[in-house]
Amino acid sequence: MSDSKPLVLHYVSSPGTLGGLWTYAIVLSESDLKERYRFDQYSPSHTQHGIEPLSILRLAKMFKQKRPEILHMHGLNTPIIQPTMAARLARVPRVLLAVHVFIEDSHMRKPWKKALSAQFLEPVALRRANAVYNVCAFGAAKPQMTHFVKNDLGVIDNAVRISEPLTPDASLRASFGFKPDDIIALSVGRAELEKGWHLLAEAMEILDREGLEQPKLLLVGDGPHKQMIEERLKPLIAKGRVVMPGRRNDVMELHAISDFFVSPTLRDYQPLVFLDAMLQHKPILTTQVGGNPEMVVDDKTGVLVAPKDVKALVREMKRLSIDADLRKRLGDAGRVRVETKFSLGRLTQEVGAVYDQLMTSLPGWK
């Protein structure tokens, strides 16, 4: 019977059911691992700050009711302290922590809060977990892994389900006002300064001042700074040079109609949206920060520029817009890289081995 399978409960630290962490949890839950394990997912209804006793008590009650054999937590930021302490109260037998970002690299805006969380809350989550892995080597090299983690599993790279590239939908392209011969630079992400939206806005302003008609920018996402960026780009939006449709659920289709992906992010580990672009044979223009160089090989699968270097960003946007052969070479190589290094089969094999090891090495519910 399926109910006899061990339950793995995915806890996603960011609120809601959108974003990379939730997608990661769903991908694992719907993989071949469901032949051996049952899965459930949970994310908080609101952004949590610090220690919230009532949230911890409610989570502990939920854990006792669901009785997961493995609590698989995703993220490492302030909200992760809630399930860490709740798991302790409920005596969840096995806790696995996947580090997608350390607090020092997160988008927490108040320096004092970031320092306090990194010094006191982050070590608790790292110490309490029965096993910890990072999604990129950049995170795995952090000194926190040596100081606080008792069972460091190293790196388990992000992954994506390998599928055939989509055929570009001409009507979707036209719905944004793009012409058939326009070069579309796609950017998808949370609208915040850490993702470099203001730098992308500046780059588009420079391109427009220089009289260059290409590329057109399709800037997709929502977040705290969307209105500010939208106001800044209002003249270019009026010209049809920039389109900001907000949050979309058809990201793969948007990759298919685009010509290259651009993300001048200031912090990142291993964005899943990069893998989506690579699946669709699209070259990636991004910054040399965090785990980005582990995904994008400069001048082989994409182009890396220094963070905050708007001149370099403009230069490479020009180059990718002009050179169709370059786009094809980088995009084709990216497709090969995602198939060989970032496949879902590899991820489920590695995570499944961790689940199996935790099940055999630690006792279950008492």
Q: Could you say which DSSP state residue 194 is in?
A: G
Residue 251 belongs to domain spanning: 170-341
Higher pLDDT, 217 or 119: 217
Task: Please give the span between the terminal C-alpha atoms of the chain, in angstroms, as a whole number.
Answer: 22
Q: Tell me if 20 is assigned to some domain.
A: yes
For residues 216 and 259, the answer to whether their CB atoms sit within 8 Å is no
**Which pLDDT tens digit goes with each residue over 18-46?**
567 888 899 899 999 999 999 999 988 76
Same domain, 146 and 285: no
Strand partners, 304: 286
Residue 165 lies in a domain: no
- Does residue 188 contact residue 254 with C-beta atoms inside 8 Å? yes
Residue 103 structure tokens: 């607090």
Q: Does 42 reside within a domain?
A: yes
For the chain, how many structural domains are there in total?
A: 2
- Cα dist. 301→279, 286, 312 in Å? 12, 11, 17
User: Are residues 111 and 68 part of one domain?
Assistant: yes
Q: What is the pLDDT of residue 50?
A: 64
Residue bearing tokens 């006899």: 4
How would residue 209 be classed by pLDDT, with cut points 50, 70 and 90? Answer: very high
Residue 164, in any domain of the structure:
no
Same domain, 233 and 261: yes
Domain with 187 in it: what CATH number? 3.40.50.2000
pLDDT, residue 191, reads 87
pLDDT score at 194: 85
pLDDT band (50, 70, 90) for residue 235: very high
Same domain, 319 and 336: yes
In sequence order, the β-bridge partners of residue 338 are: none
C-alpha 145: how far from chain center = 21
pLDDT, tens only, 144-173: 888 999 999 999 999 988 999 999 999 999
What share of the chain has pLDDT > 70, as a percent?
92
In a domain, 154, yes or no: yes
354 and 304 belong to one structural domain: no
Residues 73 and 218 in one domain: no
For residue 23, being part of any structural domain is answered with yes
Instruction: Give the angle subtended at the CA of 343 by the CAs of 331 and 264, to the nearest 5°.
Output: 45
Q: Say yes or no to pLDDT of 16 above 60.
A: no
Looking at the structure, do residues 291 and 349 belong to the same domain, yes or no? no
Q: In this predicted model, what pLDDT tens digit does every residue of 253-302 receive, in sequence order?
A: 999 999 999 999 998 888 889 999 999 999 999 999 999 999 999 999 99
Does residue 193 lie within any of the structural domains? yes
Query: Quick check: helix, strand or coil at residue 151?
Result: coil
The mean pLDDT value of the chain amounts to 91
In a domain, 290, yes or no: yes
pLDDT of residue 1: 44
The alpha carbons of the chain give a radius of gyration, in whole angstroms, of: 21
Q: Are residues 194 and 250 in the same domain?
A: yes
Task: Tell whether 176 and 137 lie within a shared domain.
Answer: no
255 shares a domain with 178: yes
Model confidence, pTM: 0.88
User: Do 319 and 351 share a domain, yes or no?
Assistant: no
How far lies 154's CA from each of 60, 125, 131, in Å?
A: 29, 17, 10
Say if residue 150 is in the same domain as residue 285: no
Segment 115-142 mean pLDDT: 86
